[in-house]
Amino acid sequence: DIQMTQSPSSMSASLGDRVTITCQASQDIGNNLIWFQQKPGKSPRRMIYYATNLANGVPSRFSGSRSGSDYSLTIISLESEDMADYHCLQYKQYPNTFGAGTKLELK
């Protein structure tokens, strides 16, 4: 199975900060990666698909990038509504696998 190593597991940041969350794939997954945002008591919300594409309705302060086997979700100018858990998912191969998640909190 493909392992997705997500970091950090948690972080605190201030409003207006630039934040980056990373997932590293244990095997080649191409661009077959999705980033989800999840708020307490809610279902996951797709933010980025195919590694770098912004999903419908997602603010432009979110972006996705890839460098080799490292995939990043970046939020420029953090807003209070961005406080949530973030998860990456690879769908290159079955079983699809998630990262362990990142809890983003307000400093």
Partner 1 sequence: EVQLVETGGGLVQPGKSLKLTCATSGFTFSTAWMHWVRQSPEKRLEWIARIKDKSNNYATDYVESVKGRFTISRDDSKSSVYLQMNSLKEEDTATYYCTTSLSLLNYGSYWGQGVMVTVSS
Cβ of residue 38: shortest distance to partner 1, in angstroms? 8
- Binding to partner 1 by residue 71, rule CB under 8 A? no
Count of beta carbons in the 10 Å neighbourhood of residue 75: 21
Stretch that binds partner 1, among 13-21, 41-49, 59-67, 76-84 (CB under 8 A): 41-49
- Binding to partner 1 by residue 44, rule CB under 8 A? yes
Parallel/antiparallel/unpaired status of strands 19-25 and 53-54: unpaired
- Binding to partner 1 by residue 36, rule CB under 8 A? yes
Query: Which C-beta is closer to partner 1: that of 10 or that of 77?
Result: 10
| Whole-number Å distance between alpha carbons of 16 and 1 | 38
Maximum separation of any 2 CA atoms in the chain, in Å: 38
Under the rule (CB under 8 A), what is the footprint of partner 1?
Answer: 1, 32, 34, 36, 43-46, 49-50, 53, 55-56, 85, 87, 89, 91, 94-98, 100-101
